[in-house]
C-alpha cells in the first residue's frame, strides 16, 4: 500500500518487519509507532474485480493523502516567503504578524506535521529556525498567553522531540528541542508560582519570568486545565517532576469544586480558586477541560506512581451531564447538536455569542440554541472515551464497551454528522464559525447557508455576523478519530469534500491559504489570515485521515488540543 516515489513527493514507506519493528515515514525513522505492521494490499489476480476495486480504492486514498501534503507545502511556501519567523501569515498582503507573542507559532505548529508527512525540506527549514532563533525569542519577548504558548509552542517542541528522538541522525536535534522546551517551560512556570492558588495566571512576561492575571481577574477554565499533557510529558523526558506537579495541581483542585452533573462554568478565579459566574458551555473557554480529563487519564493511567482514576470519573460524570442537559435535535430533520447554559444549570438556553478568535459580540437573550465549531472537540472525546483509542471492532471483540460507551460513541457519530452538514449546507462547502438550529422554541427565516440542494437547509440558521471561516480543524479532527475507531469510509469521503472546498476557496496562488468572511456567497470575500492551526491541525488531520491507521495510532498517542501527538506512557516500548 505504501510505496516510495520521488524524494520530493515520497510516500510513507511501510515495511512489514514484524512485531516491535518500525515503519519508515517519508524517509525518516520515527520510532516504534505501530501496534502492528501496516496493512499491505493483497496481490490478487487481475480477473478478481472486487480485489481490483480494493486496490483502486487504496490507490485513491494514497493519491489524496499526497494532495494534502502538496497543500501543506504550498501553505508553508507562502509563510516562508512572506512571514518567516512571525507567528502568522497574512497571505493576501504578503506579510507576517505576531498575534501570539512572537515565538514563531506557525513554525512550531508546522514542524511535526512536516515530520509526519516526510516533507524533509520543510523539516530542515523549520528546525534550523528553532535551533538558531527560538531561545533568543524566549529570553527577550514580552507577554504571552500561558495556554496558547503551551499548546502551540511547547506542544510543538515536545512532539518534534519525540518524532526525532527515535531517529539516530536526528538525535542531536531532539536534544536541542528538549533543552528549548525546558527553557520555555521554566518561564511559563511563573504563571503557577505567582498565583496564590493552584489555578495559574493567564499571562506570562517572558523576559523577566513574571506573570499576571487576565483583565477582569478570572482565567478561562479550559485554558488552565489544558496544560497537563504537555507538562506531564516534559517531566517524563526531562526527569524533573516540577512541571507535572504544577500542572496536575490544577486538576486535583478542580476535583474538589462543586459541579452540575460534572459540568463546570467557563471561568475560574486564580485568586480564590473558585469558579466565576454560571455560564456552562462546551464551546470556547469550556471545551478542552472535558477533552483533557480523558486525555490526561489516557496518558497517565499506566503510570505506576500516579492515581488518575479521578479524572476518568470526572469525565464520565460530565458526559452524562452533557447527554442529560445539553443535547437537543433540530427540526424538521432531527440534526443532533449541543447547546449551552449561559445562566447556569437552572437557566434557559440562550443565543449568547461565543468570543472566539474572530471577535464576536453578543445577541439578545432568547430560547434559541447555537452550535459553536470549537465544541467539536466533544466528538473526539466521546469516541476516544468509548474505545480508549482501539477500533470499535477490537473493543467489541474484547468486551471493552459497556452500554454507556456505546451511547457516547453514537452521540459522537451523530454530532459529526451535524458538523459535516454545517459544511455542506453552505454555498462554498465550508462551515461558518457559528450556526444556530431551528427548534420548536426558536425559528428565524432567510438565514440559510445558500446551498438550496441541502436536505438540512431549513434546520441550520447562519446569522450575518457568524459566516466567517478561519480554516478551523475541529470537524476534520472528528472525522479522523471516528474513521480510526469505526473504520467507516464515509468519514474519509466527507473529509475529502471539505479538503476540496478549502482548495477551491481558500488557496492563495502566491502561497498560503486564507480565512473567509462569508461562506454563504460565491466568490467569498477573503479575510487575509492563515491561522497557525491550519498547518498544525487541519492539514495534519486530513493527511492522517487519508493514510494508514498505523501512522500515529490512537492507542499509543494522545493528540494535544493543537494536534501535537504525545506518546501515552508505557505504550511505546524503548529499544
Looking at beta carbons, which pairs linking 264-268 to residues 24 or more positions away fall under 8 Å? 264/221, 264/289, 265/221, 265/344, 266/220, 266/221, 266/222, 267/218, 267/219, 267/220, 267/221, 268/199, 268/218, 268/219, 268/220, 268/221, 268/224
Cβ–Cβ < 8 Å for 86, 99: no
- Determine whether the annotation assigns residue 561 to a binding site: yes
List 460's β-bridge partners, or say none.
437
Separation between Cα atoms, residue 90 and residue 515, nearest integer Å: 10
Overall residue count recorded for the chain in this entry? 575
Of the residues 474, 477, 518, 562, only one is catalytic, namely 474
Instruction: Judge whether 121 counts as a catalytic residue.
Output: no
Cβ–Cβ < 8 Å for 435, 462: yes
Of the residues 109, 433, 477, 537, only one is catalytic, namely 433
CA atoms within 13 A on the CB side of 346: 0
Nearest in space to 417 (alpha carbons), one of 475, 378, 340, 349: 475
Quick one: CA torsion of 6, 8, 12, 15, rounded to 10 degrees? 50
The 3-class secondary structure across 304-346, one letter per residue, is CCCCCHHHHHHHHHHHHHHHHHCEEECCCCCCEEECCECCCCC
44: how many CB neighbours lie within 10 A of its CB? 12
Instruction: Judge whether 474 counts as a catalytic residue.
Output: yes
Of the residues 88, 112, 223, 287, only one is catalytic, namely 287
Of the residues 109, 148, 223, 548, only one is catalytic, namely 148
What are the distances in angstroms from CA 538 to CA 98, 354, 476, 535? 21, 21, 7, 6
CA 524 to chain centre: 26
Residue 56 CB partners (closer than 8 Å, separation 6+): none
- For the chain, how are helix, strand and coil distributed in percent, rounded to 5? 45, 10, 45
3-state secondary structure of 291: helix
Instruction: Judge whether 148 counts as a catalytic residue.
Output: yes
What is the pairing mode between strands 565-567 and 557-559?
A: antiparallel
Instruction: Judge whether 47 counts as a catalytic residue.
Output: no
Residues making up the binding site for Ca(2+): 561
- Binding site feature residues: 561
User: Could you give the residue numbers annotated as active site?
Assistant: 148, 287, 433, 474
Amino acid at each position: 500500500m505504501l510505496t516510495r516515489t520521488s524524494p520530493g513527493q515520497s510516500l510513507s514507506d511501510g515495511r512489514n518487519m514484524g512485531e516491535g519493528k518500525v515503519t519508515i515515514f517519508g524517509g525518516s525513522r520515527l520510532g516504534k509507532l505501530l501496534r502492528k505492521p501496516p496493512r499491505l494490499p493483497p496481490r490478487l489476480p487481475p480477473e478478481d474485480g472486487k480485489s481490483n476495486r480494493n486496490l483502486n480504492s487504496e490507490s485513491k486514498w494514497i493519491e489524496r493523502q499526497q494532495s494534502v501534503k502538496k497543500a501543506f507545502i504550498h501553505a508553508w511556501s507562502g509563510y516562508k516567503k512572506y512571514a518567516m519567523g512571525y507567528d502568522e501569515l497574512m497571505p493576501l498582503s504578503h506579510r507576517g504578524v505576531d498575534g501570539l507573542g512572537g515565538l514563531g507559532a506557525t513554525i512550531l505548529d508546522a514542524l511535526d506535521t512536516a515530520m509526519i508527512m516526510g516533507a524533509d525540506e520543510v523539516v530542515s527549514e523549520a528546525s534550523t529556525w528553532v535551533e538558531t532563533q527560538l531561545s533568543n525569542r524566549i529570553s527577550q519577548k514580552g507577554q504571552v498567553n500561558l495556554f496558547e504558548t503551551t499548546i502551540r509552542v511547547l506542544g510543538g517542541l515536545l512532539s518534534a522531540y519525540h518524532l526525532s528522538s527515535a531517529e539516530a541522525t536526528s538525535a542531536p536535534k531532539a536534544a536541542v528541542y528538549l533543552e528549548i522546551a525546558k527553557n520555555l517551560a521554566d518561564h511559563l512556570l511563573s504563571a503557577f508560582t505567582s498565583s496564590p492558588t493552584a489555578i495559574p495566571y493567564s499571562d506570562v512576561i517572558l523576559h523577566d519570568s513574571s506573570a499576571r492575571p487576565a483583565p477582569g481577574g478570572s482565567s478561562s477554565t479550559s485554558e488552565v486545565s489544558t496544560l497537563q499533557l504537555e507538562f506531564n510529558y516534559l517531566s517524563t523526558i526531562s526527569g524533573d517532576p516540577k512541571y507535572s506537579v504544577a500542572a496536575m495541581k490544577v486538576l486535583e483542585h478542580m476535583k474538589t469544586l462543586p459541579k452540575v452533573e460534572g459540568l463546570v462554568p467557563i471561568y475560574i478565579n486564580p485568586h480564590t480558586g473558585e469558579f466565576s459566574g454560571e455560564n456552562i458551555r462546551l464551546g470556547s473557554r469550556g471545551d478542552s477541560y472535558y477533552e483533557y480529563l480523558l486525555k490526561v487519564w489516557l496518558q497517565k493511567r499506566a503510570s505506576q506512581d500516579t492515581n488518575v482514576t479521578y479524572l476518568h470519573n470526572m469525565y464520565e460524570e460530565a458526559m452524562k451531564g452533557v447527554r442529560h442537559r445539553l443535547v437537543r435535535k433540530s427540526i424538521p430533520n432531527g440534526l443532533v447538536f449541543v447547546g449551552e447554559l449561559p445562566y447556569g444549570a437552572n437557566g434557559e438556553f440562550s443565543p449568547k455569542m461565543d468570543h472566539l478568535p474572530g471577535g464576536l459580540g453578543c445577541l439578545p437573550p432568547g430560547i434559541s440554541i447555537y452550535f459553536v465549531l470549537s465544541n467539536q472537540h466533544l466528538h473526539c472525546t466521546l469516541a476516544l472515551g468509548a474505545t480508549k483509542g482501539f477500533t470499535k471492532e477490537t473493543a467489541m471483540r474484547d468486551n471493552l464497551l459497556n452500554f454507556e460507551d456505546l451511547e457516547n460513541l453514537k452521540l459522537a457519530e451523530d454530532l459529526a454528522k451535524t458538523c459535516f452538514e454545517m459544511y455542506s449546507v453552505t454555498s462554498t462547502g465550508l462551515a461558518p464559525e457559528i450556526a444556530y438550529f431551528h427548534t420548536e422554541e426558536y425559528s428565524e427565516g432567510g438565514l440559510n447557508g445558500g446551498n438550496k440542494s441541502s436536505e438540512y437547509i431549513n434546520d441550520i440558521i447562519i446569522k450575518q455576523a457568524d459566516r466567517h471561516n478561519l480554516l478551523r480543524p475541529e470537524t476534520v479532527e472528528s472525522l479522523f478519530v471516528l474513521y480510526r475507531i469505526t473504520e467507516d469510509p464515509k468519514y474519509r469521503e466527507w473529509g475529502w469534500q471539505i479538503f476540496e472546498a478549502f482548495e477551491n476557496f481558500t488557496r492563495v496562488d502566491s502561497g498560503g491559504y486564507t480565512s473567509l468572511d462569508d461562506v454563504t456567497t460565491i466568490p467569498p470575500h477573503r479575510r487575509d489570515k492563515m491561522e497557525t492551526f491550519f498547518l498544525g491541525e487541519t492539514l495534519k488531520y486530513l493527511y492522517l485521515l487519508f493514510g494508514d491507521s498505523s501512522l500515529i495510532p490512537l492507542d499509543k498517542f494522545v493528540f494535544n488540543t493543537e494536534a501535537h501527538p504525545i506518546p501515552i506512557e508505557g505504550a511505546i516500548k524503548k529499544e
